Amino acid sequence: MIERQTVERMKTRIGILGYGNLGRGVECAIRQNSDMELAVVFTRRDPGSVKILTETAVVRSVSEAVEWKDKLDVLILCGGSATDLPEQTPEYAEHFNVVDSFDTHARIPEHFEKVDAAAKKGGKTAIISVGWDPGMFSLNRLYADAILPEGKDYTFWGKGVSQGHSDAVRRIKGVKDAKQYTIPVDGALDSVRAGENPKLSIRQKHTRECFVVSEEGADRARIEKEIKTMPNYFADYDTTVHFITEEELKRDHSGIPHGGFVLRSGVTGQEKENRHLIEYSLKLDSNPEFTASVIVAYARAAFRLSKEGNSGCKTVFDIAPAYLSAKSARELRASML
Amino acid sequence: MIERQTVERMKTRIGILGYGNLGRGVECAIRQNSDMELAVVFTRRDPGSVKILTETAVVRSVSEAVEWKDKLDVLILCGGSATDLPEQTPEYAEHFNVVDSFDTHARIPEHFEKVDAAAKKGGKTAIISVGWDPGMFSLNRLYADAILPEGKDYTFWGKGVSQGHSDAVRRIKGVKDAKQYTIPVDGALDSVRAGENPKLSIRQKHTRECFVVSEEGADRARIEKEIKTMPNYFADYDTTVHFITEEELKRDHSGIPHGGFVLRSGVTGQEKENRHLIEYSLKLDSNPEFTASVIVAYARAAFRLSKEGNSGCKTVFDIAPAYLSAKSARELRASML
């Protein structure tokens, strides 16, 4: 019995703040990692109204979170990048080792500075912008750029659901519900793979496809025109609009798939005569669950780094790959190198 | 003038030991990285007989190498894994920061221990088994395994030239010259990509194709049979043999292309209902030049780690990605994350 308790105590104790798609994905991912356990979910809703999957974990109000500072090894922040994380990550990084998935690329440097100051103040380790883009795609851009300094890189997204674009369509008058897919253009991908180093416009890289449920009697021609001419979101793309029924939307478009490609084409040799192509791609049935799986691996890293005495903010660029794995360094060398 | 000297002195000074295909590839790669400079090539041949590309570097006998211990930041060991590196890397790791491309997977743990002891004794940083497999493929196996703990991974090699298999064919009586290509089976790759998690035999994963120049009057039927039945090398594969002329071999098969695929297919979700595919692939015109490009990026890391006071042996698993890049951490966060 003592032995069993010792083993269980060695598990990394995780807290989740925010129980939407990402939070639920983190909970599922923890269940797939036997060295981790979910201890608590913090919510802004009434804790009594939130049902979670993990019987051994509890649900608490976010207002009580800081009281758990000595009972958790890592707090995973599952809020949104627009308004939640810019506040939450600096706030909690002082009290907990934290991981977030802050994905507003342009604001990462600013977010980093704030989180770094808070984490250093509290002597904690924070890892920001974890997921697949930013995250695994960023890593692949960095590795490929370092290996082939003379080259050109390309990132394509999709085929997958863009939440932001789906929301934009839903805001149009007469639209009851909608789902938008971002789709990479095959010809553009092929040209990159052929080493042609194409210069690609926005329109040449991706197309957009919308599945729209219109309200009864709505003017579909107007809706379609409003979508296709919407600045930033659709005007620069070739966009297709399909009107479907609510049942069809539910039946055929309820998933949250995504994915994409990072490619780098570069040259080496005395006369730059040899060409090389590095390609990384993801094909994901569930965007939030995959993001959550990356986050949980980095939660393992955050706790290890903290135990080694590190503090401050880090990104995926700063973390040696071995920290992500439950396997020992010796085991990794013997089995994966 | 002083300013210029200061800038130049800040370059990482590299030595190359062994000037074959890999050593020449390292020399070319250094020319593509403006923060590095080649200082010296050590050779077992008569130094006067070795012509290099870099006018500012010198050629010296390998017997003088240790005398350069305070004049180099990193020594890159470009010998073979069979007999050179098991001796050389432990020998030189005591005196220099070193990088090697030791690729006998089964003997990596043993090599690691020896190099680790030597590097710690000398207070130096050694990075072993750098390249693409072991190397970039290993990294991708580790990342994918850590992210998707419930899944299955697959490595395919090719299409590319296997030096070992080409040599094996050349040793057959009546063979004047030969080149062997390893080719992944498209159907097997498709099955993995479709998430079918196939159990694949050796024969189902790769085919082998040989281009053979036979000596005049040689018995081609016997040669073909000897190839196809050769244990370990060919007997377990579907092998095709083409007899061609010496001119054709030279014209069509003088390159050293290679590449391959690392895939992991895994599941997430409450009921493991969501499937994900991670795929990394390389398509390389020149196997040694790409390997050299990876090595040079890790040479940058070795020197940085050494300056930070690290010592001992490391692998690609132990090195944070940012160490490979010439860009600063701030620049990387702003441009690549």
Is the ipTM reported for this complex over the cut 0.90? yes
* Residues of A with Cβ-Cβ distance to B279 under 8 angstroms: 279-283
Backbone angles phi and psi of A316, in degrees to 5: -55, -25
| Side-chain half-sphere CA neighbours of B323 within 13 A | 26
What's the CA gap between B58 and B237, in Å, rounded? 46
The SS3 call for residue A146 is: helix
Kindly determine whether residue B282 and residue A283, on different chains, have CB atoms separated by under 8 Å: no
**Cis before B152 (ω within 30):** no
Is A219's pLDDT higher than 90? Answer: yes
**CA nearest to A47, candidates A68, A70, A17:** A17
* Residues of B with Cβ-Cβ distance to A29 under 8 angstroms: 268
Mean pLDDT, range B231-250, rounded to an integer: 97
- Nearest residue, CB atoms, A317 vs list B108, B286, B337: B337
* Residues of B with Cβ-Cβ distance to A25 under 8 angstroms: 268
Whether A317 and chain B come into contact, CB under 8 Å, resolves to yes
Kindly determine whether residue B274 and residue A286, on different chains, have CB atoms separated by under 8 Å: yes
Mean pLDDT, range B109-133, rounded to an integer: 98
Per-residue pLDDT of B46-69, as tens digits, reads 999 999 999 999 999 999 999 999
Is B108's pLDDT higher than 90? Answer: yes
Mean pLDDT, range A175-204, rounded to an integer: 96
Label residue B143 by pLDDT band (50, 70, 90): very high
Average pLDDT in chain A:
96
Whether B316 and chain A come into contact, CB under 8 Å, resolves to yes
- How much is the pLDDT for A9? 55
- How much is the pLDDT for B8? 46
Label residue B102 by pLDDT band (50, 70, 90): very high
- How much is the pLDDT for A26? 98
Average pLDDT in chain B:
96
**CA nearest to A316, candidates B329, B257, B298:** B329
Is B3's pLDDT higher than 80? Answer: no
Per-residue pLDDT of A12-27, as tens digits, reads 999 999 999 999 999 9
> How far is C-alpha B134 from the chain's CA centre?
7
Per-residue pLDDT of A87-129, as tens digits, reads 999 999 999 999 999 999 999 999 999 999 999 999 999 999 9
- Nearest residue, CB atoms, B142 vs list A140, A290, A325: A325
> How far is C-alpha A182 from the chain's CA centre?
16
DSSP state for residue B272 in the 8-state scheme: S
B interface mutation test: which of A35, A190, A196, A274 has the most B CBs within 10 A? A274
Kindly determine whether residue B138 and residue A337, on different chains, have CB atoms separated by under 8 Å: yes
Classify strands A312-314 and A274-284 as parallel, antiparallel or unpaired. Answer: unpaired
- How much is the pLDDT for A4? 46
What's the CA gap between B51 and B35, in Å, rounded? 24
Mean pLDDT, range B244-270, rounded to an integer: 97
* Residues of A with Cβ-Cβ distance to B278 under 8 angstroms: 136, 280-282
Q: What is the DSSP string of A179-238?
A: EEEEEE-HHHHHHHHTT------HHHHEEEEEEEEEPTT--HHHHHHHHHT-TTTTTTSE
- How much is the pLDDT for B10? 83
Whether B317 and chain A come into contact, CB under 8 Å, resolves to yes
Model pTM score: 0.95
Kindly determine whether residue A147 and residue B141, on different chains, have CB atoms separated by under 8 Å: no
Burial class (CB in 10 A: 0-12, 13-18, 19+), B287: buried
The residue of chain B nearest to residue A154, with distances taken between CA atoms, is: B336
Mean pLDDT, range A210-239, rounded to an integer: 97
- How much is the pLDDT for B199? 97
Is there a contact between A23 and A78 (Cβ–Cβ < 8 Å)?
yes
- How much is the pLDDT for A10? 83
Nearest-Cα distance to chain B for A316, in Å, is 8
- How much is the pLDDT for B9? 55
